[in-house]
Amino acid sequence: MAALTKPGSPGQHGGKKWLDGAVGYEVYVRSFADSNGDGIGDIPGITGRLDYLKWLGVDIVWLTPFYKSPGHDHGYDVASYSEVNPIHGTLEDVDDLIERAHQLGLRVVFDIVPNHTSSEHRWFQQALADPSSPERDYYLFRDPAPDGGPPNNWPSHFGPSAWTLDEASGQYYCHLFLPEQPDLNWRNPAVRAEFDAIYRFWFDRGVDGFRIDVAHGLLKHPDFPDIPQIKPIAADAGPMENFFSFDHIYDLDQDDNVEIFTRWQDVAAPYDACLLAESGVEAHDRLARYVQPGALDLTFFLKPGWMAWDPAKFLRELVGLAEIESHGISWVISNHDQARPASRFGGGPEGRNRALAVTALMFSLGGVPFLYQGEELGSPNGEIAPEDRHDPISTRNETDEGRDVCRTPMAWNTDPFNGFSSVEPWLKAADRPLDFTVAGQHANAAAPLHRYRRLIALRKHHPDLWRAELKVIDSGRPDVAVIQRGTSLTVANLGSQSFAINLGSGQWQVLFASQGGDGDLASGIVNVSAETTVILVPAA
């Protein structure tokens, strides 16, 4: 298998110099490209579209799970970590994808799901069949409460309780997600050894790193106490609203989580492979622990992906975190779990412009920003009839709190099913019009696709945007951020009124403006339009 040269000179991320200045792109495997006409995205389909990602300019391609799985949570319920689900291809197909990506100079990051397995995983099946087996302690089985009910009040993300009764033994097992996703016991050394071997299996095949699902949830408090309820729960509350009505001080983000990450770095280091956390931790100081020396290389900051349009809050969250940790964050405003930002931020041209303004700011904050497939097109939420929903959050709870709207197939062109497949896709949705397809935007120089491509290229050509010391200049307005990094100046005016900035007597060149103006020269008192981010450098 072909492999990229592994650079050893230190950069912002230690020896993993290939992360410095990189931009990532998430591929939701089921919905990116179907190569065999069964309506489900697959590995060969992704391989066939890598040239597009190379043209776009990204450096890292993150693939959601494609492992053997019964599919209760669309691959995040893994039945075997070293086998490929036949609906997505074969092990040889994965090898071919890695080889082609490396030929193109792209790095490949896989999803790993260590918080839980599928209930069909052989470990869990053995744990149920023989409570005295070693595998029983791979999971979190506990005796009932004195009243015979669950051991504590922990809720599941997907509703309602995080505990399901194993009737044969009379014990409950813990699952922070579906009952078909039993949580692993990360205090068991045997579990840690199993995952060391899983990592090495894929590193030996050439994968460049892992995005670690639910990295903040691995360890639970050893005493399993009740968690505090922090607000009332409405009678019609959906599962997510119910979950976030509690303060998760015992089931998530335990202090000793970091010990596990240090062990994983020992496994990853000889391969120059990166480890990236999916972490729902919102407190900036707590999140920074995940990328402290010896821990993970990067962590996502997910909070902006859940937020509606709130300029001052966006700046507090993004800039506030960057001031604490400017190298170890992967910035995102969308992924496969969150509604599309173009829709969350107001819809239509307004929503698209706001999304690009926030993204342009993130590209000046350091770390490794990621785009989610279709984000570069300014895609709004997909249109899905209630009877066509697939997400278990909605199908099992009769709620609109589902994730299907961001998982609709990638819109490549205006062929039937937008060129994703030759047959009706697994997730039925209204076709996208020409203006929201890759082909349509490729032919339009003013389309979002070209704006995002220019922004990605800009970050490569001006390394001050990620390498130089971050300095925040007081703008005098809570909805405006002014950031200086080396010779670059980023002005993010997310407010509804223009913002005047004094650039002095020297001339500045506008390298990028989220709403037009690339290449303009500026000096003196300059007005930055509302809901616009501009990136400037001194004119040559």
Positions marked active-site: 213, 278
HSE of 17 in the Cβ direction (CA atoms, 13 Å)?
9
Query: Residue 130 and residue 471: Cα distance in Å, rounded?
Result: 59
Q: Indicate the burial class of 479 (C-beta count within 10 angstroms; 0-12, 13-18, 19 or more).
A: buried
* Contact in structure between 465 and 459 (CB atoms under 8 Å): yes
Distances (CA, A) of 390 to 211, 306, 424: 24, 20, 14
Q: Residue 442 burial by CB count (10 A; 0-12/13-18/19+): exposed, middle or buried?
A: middle
First to last CA, the chain: 45
| Side chain identity, residue 270 | P
Q: Decide: residue 194, CB within 10 A, 0-12 exposed, 13-18 middle, 19+ buried.
A: middle
Write out the E strands in 274-368.
274-277, 298-301, 329-331
Q: Is the CB of residue 330 less than 8 Å from the CB of residue 310? A: no
Burial class (CB in 10 A: 0-12, 13-18, 19+), 507: middle
Which residues is 209 bridged to in the sheet?
Answer: 109, 274
- DSSP-derived letter for residue 468 is S
User: Residue 91 forms beta bridges with which residues?
Assistant: none
359 and 342 Cβ atoms separated by less than 8 Å: no
Instruction: Report d(CA 342, CA 137) in Å as an integer.
Output: 45
Q: Is 430 exposed, middle or buried (0-12, 13-18, 19+ CB in 10 A)?
A: exposed
Alpha carbon of residue 47 to chain centroid: 21
- DSSP-assigned beta bridge partners for residue 47: none
Say which DSSP state 246 is in. B
